[in-house]
Amino acid sequence: MENSKYLVLAVISMAVMLTSQAVNAQKVFQINRFVDSVLTLRYWRADIDTNYITRPHTKWTLVGRINMSGSRIHALGVDEGREFESKLKADYKKTVSIGVSYLGMSLNLSLNPAKLLGKYNDYELGIHSYGKRFGYDISYQDAHNFKGWHEVEGARQDITTSDDMFRLRTLGMNAYYVFNSRRFSYPAAFAHSYLQRQSAGSFLLAVSAQWQNGEISNVNGKGSIDIPSADFKMTNIGIGAGYGYNYVPKSSHRGDWLIHFSVLPTLLVYTNSSITIGETDTRLERHFPEGLITMRGAIVRQIGRNKFAGLSGVYDINSIGHSDKMNIRNQKWFARLYFGIRL
């Protein structure tokens, strides 16, 4: 009799637990269904001209990528009556990544094999967001390992820097606004959350900003010239306008091929740049025009109904100062090769 009571209690407890789990599972299901309906509504309510732009008819997108980036710094000017010029190139950064997108919401994971093997000592972070109307690229780089040369009055020496010789930290941002967002799609070329069906272009507004700090200490080359210790600082903000175009060949079938190119020049409205060499602090003189140019390009190939592949890239170049005293030119680029599947 006693055992029967315990058995009844156990059955009742299990029934309560199962009922509770069923209720919780039902609540989770209802929440997931609500979130899915909101995202679906947002996904399909985009204000677009469907003769030019459409949404993919699948919810999930998987993309595998091979990424590469690099940067250069070019300085020239006159120091104590002697003309000088320097060119340095940072080590290339190579990563592999995979991205998962659900109704336009994306999550990406990147891996740098050279970093894991200890062959790449620099640090770099990139954030890229390409919306229908607004978008931006943000990048941060902490680079130590450069190769290049320095020349004074025609005498050149090769330079290979290391962690204790040279450090260059760069934070950059460029953003855009698309006027003809109903017919021209940046995400069709870069984020793959839209499909460009016919050729279209748009005028663009642009904002750029960059902060940079370079520290030189004990940099000696293979020649007879030593570079003194120096500290370079630069901050600038620019605004401008440009143009982008998505070309869909008429011979392709409703967007099987897409070729994108855009140019966004910005003029600097604020800049504060200086270089300290030894005990001498020199401010870089303004020289009109000073600015930053951002160029983007992409080639996308739709393969069948649910596959695509392509190549895309972003290139930034700016010029600060005057070559009669000191002129600094920065170049930074990012490129990726990818293959995607829509599910």
> Tens of pLDDT along 328-338?
888 999 999 99
Q: Is the preceding peptide bond at 289 cis, omega within 30 degrees of 0?
A: yes
Region for residue 111 given its phi and psi (left: phi exceeds 0; alpha: psi -120 to 50; beta: otherwise): beta
- pLDDT the model gives residue 78: 81
Hey, what amino acid is at 221?
A: G
Q: What is the mean pLDDT of residues 124-148?
A: 87
Q: Decide if 167 contacts 192 (C-beta within 8 A).
A: no
What predicted TM-score, i.e. pTM, was given to this entire model?
0.81
Region for residue 323 given its phi and psi (left: phi exceeds 0; alpha: psi -120 to 50; beta: otherwise): alpha
Q: What is the mean pLDDT of residues 135-142?
A: 89
Lowest mean pLDDT among 18-32, 181-195, 238-252: 18-32
Q: What is the mean pLDDT of residues 240-267?
A: 89
